[in-house]
Structure 1
Amino acid sequence: MFRFDPYSPAIDADPFPAYRRLRDDFPCFWSDEANAWVLSRFADIVAALNDWRTYSSAKGNLMTEVRNRAGATIGTTDPPRHDRLRGLVQYAFMKRNLDSLTPAIRDIARDVVGTLKGRARFDFIADFSSKFTVRVLFATLGLPIGDEAAVREKIMLMVQSNATTRAKGPEHIAAFAWMEDYAAKVIAERRARPQNDLISELSLAEIHGDRLDEREVLQTTTTLVMGGVGSLNGFLAMLALNLADIPEAREAVVANPDLLPDAIEESLRYNTSAQRFRRCLTKDVELHGQWMREGDFVCLAFGSGNRDDRQYPDADAYQLARKPRGHLGFGGSVHACLGASIARLSSKIAMEEFHKAMPRYERAETSLSWMPSSTFRSPLRLELTTIKDRRKHGVASQRQSRVSGK
């Protein structure tokens, strides 16, 4: 009997065989473990994203939702409320011009990668990507310098669930409460003394006399912190994992950095860190012979849709030249990721600087421990080693199947 449990460690480690079974045999599948219908085909997911009136986000968009988010963030509201929030947040983003951030992002990448020089083995996540993403977030939002380590610790707890119960445990709930309290203090300081940063812009953003209220600014800031670090760090880890496991792709990108945007888009399709998001039905829907009822939750399996051969031929292969248009790595429709541009820019700069210092690397361990999360997918650690030191450090030979996505 087939089951799909998004809270299972086996799904954390390798969801792709289950995704294929869902797409081929159970395209509209009720999961008791998820308490939701699972949509796994690309076309069905896109249709659901476009039909926001039926597939509502107002009861939360995370598979394991947390208190106070639903109804207060861009991702947990529907139009017209969503449009108001997005317009105000987008206005604040626009005032933080990407071109003005580029030099700071590059300086951060060079500084962080400088700590890796001379090291034959390192954890890409702990030693590079998480430090880089937190510092980029601080530079963008305007969080106080010196708080990076504490914020990074809390964010990593916020995006996880309990490894055994798969629910948000006391430590995860406490991390959210800490982040809300921390963000509230920063917001109050910026409202009193505005600076040239995104939190100040969010606090002051106004369109036709309309402004974000205090709860909206708080929850939007908290979500931006969680998404900005959790999602970007997870994506960078998956990008490095793909390039480490597929040496011809890594060598091509190192030899020609102009290929990095192609590698980023294919990685967002092939191994996105944003795997599954939730919606709630506002009316009965019949799909693939199944009746989904009003009030039922629906899991949109982005990671499965991106591997759908109906949309992307030979979808289980990583192809640098694919140029996958319309992938679900940043969601879609009204809920397309607002930070996609800065995420793409940051990823490109990060890997450019990383490859200058570490052009030849591979995985140091055959197996990975994965973050326990029903929504996001990322290794907890990614030990890499420079290839020239293979014998000295006992690096295993190329182990990864190029079509498994593990």
Structure 2
Amino acid sequence: MLDTAFRFDPYSPEIDADPFPAYKILRDHHPCFWSEEARMWVLSRHADIVEALNDWQTYSSTKGNLMDEVPNRAGATLGTTDPPRHDRMRAIIQSAFTKRNVGALAEPLRQTARHALAGIGEAREFDFITGFSAKVTVGLLFNMLGMPLEDEAEIRRNVVLMVQTDPVTRAKGPENIAAFEWMSAYAARLMELRRRDPGEDLVSRLVQAEIDGERLSEREIQMTVTTLIMAGVESLSSFLTMFALNLADHPQAREMVVADPSRLPDAVEESLRFNTSAQRFRRVLMRDVDLHGQVMKKGDFVCLAYGSGNRDERQFPNPDLYDIDRRPKNHLGFGGGVHVCLGSSIARMATVTVFEEFHKAVPVYRRVESVLPWLASTTFRAPRRLLLARD
């Protein structure tokens, strides 16, 4: 008999640690579910999420795309605008993300990875995050955005605070909001610096970029730079950490990519499907929607549970199996529709590049802790610490 008392609470530590059993219950029994704790509907099946992503006229991003949005961000970033403004913003911002610019990041990133590995040295145990993933992603970001390296520790501290939500108050607390405000002010200072002394970095290109005479507004550039810093420091670092966790938990897959690094891109795609950091994003309904016997009302918020859609057996056979030969089509690791992640090519390149270097130095590893400490976030999922041991 179906448990009518089923709850889906994205603020709970249990969901942080392992959302997948709850996702399966949602998909099988409650594919359109009202979460009283989140005060929004939850869509968990792959087909429903894809339909929502493709129907921006109904499932709008203009009220924010994070499960718990920060003040003054909605309407000023790619992820929080809809066409036609979204398309103009994307064209302007994308002009700074050329293939040549992405390719130019690979060698500096490789050097940053080698430097981080030198810091790890021959340690028998180390924290993958503080010792490696945080260092290489901050190095990539600082190179890409032209940020002063001496700001590294303060940047990291504030980004981690930005993406968290207080599980008790179920909202962004004063500390989280202060971190976002600090980051916004930092972005404004960086913009002014690059206006006075432009370089080949992304911020310099953003403050100068225009299409048909149109430029981004000051607020749009500021929020875009703030979001890029958040994505670069936390989202990419978290994905690198989740990728290491997946390989540590699946030694046969790890052995395959160590023996043949050309298989790394396939492993990356499977990790984006199987267990990625981008778990849940939200939309707001612009009209009533009748779905799976439920009526979602105009103005209601909707959670698109990417992590659940990526484990939907209706789309991916044996979805709980980590198989680097799968080559999953239409996974949701980078979202989809008009809001598909703009930095996906950088994330893919960065993951392959740094793991080529990591596996040269640490070809055999396992995780030390059976129970991991998880980030308290309703949108992202990542360990706060990942201790690895060489074998």
The TM-score normalised by the length of structure 1 is 0.94
Q: 1:273, 1:99 → 2: CA distance?
A: 24
Q: Report what 2:102 is aligned to.
A: 98
Indicate whether 1:199 and 2:217 are aligned: no
Q: 2:168, 2:238 → 1: CA distance?
A: 21
In the TM superposition, residue 193 of structure 1 has moved relative to its aligned partner by 2.1
Q: Report what 1:360 is aligned to.
A: 364
In the TM superposition, residue 352 of structure 1 has moved relative to its aligned partner by 0.9
User: Which runs of 4 or more aligned residues in structure 1 lie more than 4 Å from their structure 2 counterparts after TM superposition?
Assistant: none
In the TM superposition, residue 97 of structure 1 has moved relative to its aligned partner by 1.6
Q: 1:123, 1:95 → 2: CA distance?
A: 33
Q: 1:367, 1:251 → 2: CA distance?
A: 24
In the TM superposition, residue 144 of structure 1 has moved relative to its aligned partner by 1.3
In the TM superposition, residue 86 of structure 1 has moved relative to its aligned partner by 0.6
CA RMSD for the aligned pairs? 0.9
Indicate whether 1:153 and 2:169 are aligned: no
The amino acid of 1:284's aligned partner reads: D
Q: Report what 1:32 is aligned to.
A: 36
Contact 2:373/2:385, CA 8 A, preserved across alignment: yes
Q: 1:241, 1:145 → 2: CA distance?
A: 28
Indicate whether 1:178 and 2:182 are aligned: yes
In the TM superposition, residue 165 of structure 1 has moved relative to its aligned partner by 2.6
Contact 1:141/1:198, CA 8 A, preserved across alignment: yes
Q: 2:372, 2:198 → 1: CA distance?
A: 44
In the TM superposition, residue 230 of structure 1 has moved relative to its aligned partner by 1.0
Q: Report what 2:323 is aligned to.
A: 319
The amino acid of 2:234's aligned partner reads: G
Contact 1:241/1:363, CA 8 A, preserved across alignment: yes
1:238-262 CA deviation, whole Å, 9 max, x = no partner? 1000100111011111111111101
Secondary structure in 1 matching 2:95: helix
Q: Report what 1:189 is aligned to.
A: 193
Secondary structure in 1 matching 2:27: helix
Which is worse superposed, 216-225 or 151-160?
Answer: 151-160
Secondary structure in 2 matching 1:129: helix
Which is worse superposed, 117-126 or 92-101?
Answer: 92-101
Contact 1:55/1:279, CA 8 A, preserved across alignment: yes
Contact 1:166/1:373, CA 8 A, preserved across alignment: no
Question: Where in structure 2 are there 5+ consecutive unaligned residues?
Answer: none
The amino acid of 1:179's aligned partner reads: M
Secondary structure in 2 matching 1:147: helix
Contact 1:166/1:372, CA 8 A, preserved across alignment: no
Q: 2:102, 2:384 → 1: CA distance?
A: 30
1:321-369 CA deviation, whole Å, 9 max, x = no partner? 0001110000001000000000000111111111111000001111101
Q: 1:268, 1:35 → 2: CA distance?
A: 27
1:67-105 CA deviation, whole Å, 9 max, x = no partner? 011000000000001111111100122286222211111
Secondary structure in 1 matching 2:38: coil
In the TM superposition, residue 192 of structure 1 has moved relative to its aligned partner by 2.1
Q: Report what 1:287 is aligned to.
A: 291
Which is worse superposed, 274-283 or 225-234?
Answer: 225-234
Contact 1:96/1:197, CA 8 A, preserved across alignment: no
Q: Report what 1:270 is aligned to.
A: 274
Aligned match for 2:93, one of 89, 94, 102: 89
CA 1:96–1:35 in 2, change beyond 3 Å: closer, same or farther? farther
When the two structures are aligned, how many residues end up with a matched partner? 387
Q: 1:228, 1:266 → 2: CA distance?
A: 21
1:213-258 CA deviation, whole Å, 9 max, x = no partner? 1101000000010011111011011100010011101111111111
Contact 1:88/1:207, CA 8 A, preserved across alignment: yes
Which is worse superposed, 101-110 or 374-383?
Answer: 101-110
The TM-score normalised by the length of structure 2 is 0.98
Secondary structure in 1 matching 2:34: strand
Secondary structure in 1 matching 2:97: helix
In the TM superposition, residue 160 of structure 1 has moved relative to its aligned partner by 1.1
The amino acid of 1:117's aligned partner reads: G
Question: Where in structure 1 are there 5+ consecutive unaligned residues?
Answer: 388-406
The amino acid of 2:28's aligned partner reads: D
Indicate whether 1:310 and 2:317 are aligned: no
Q: Report what 2:49 is aligned to.
A: 45
- Share of identical aligned residues, percent? 62
Q: 1:304, 1:145 → 2: CA distance?
A: 37
Aligned match for 1:258, one of 248, 257, 262: 262
Secondary structure in 2 matching 1:92: coil
Secondary structure in 1 matching 2:149: coil
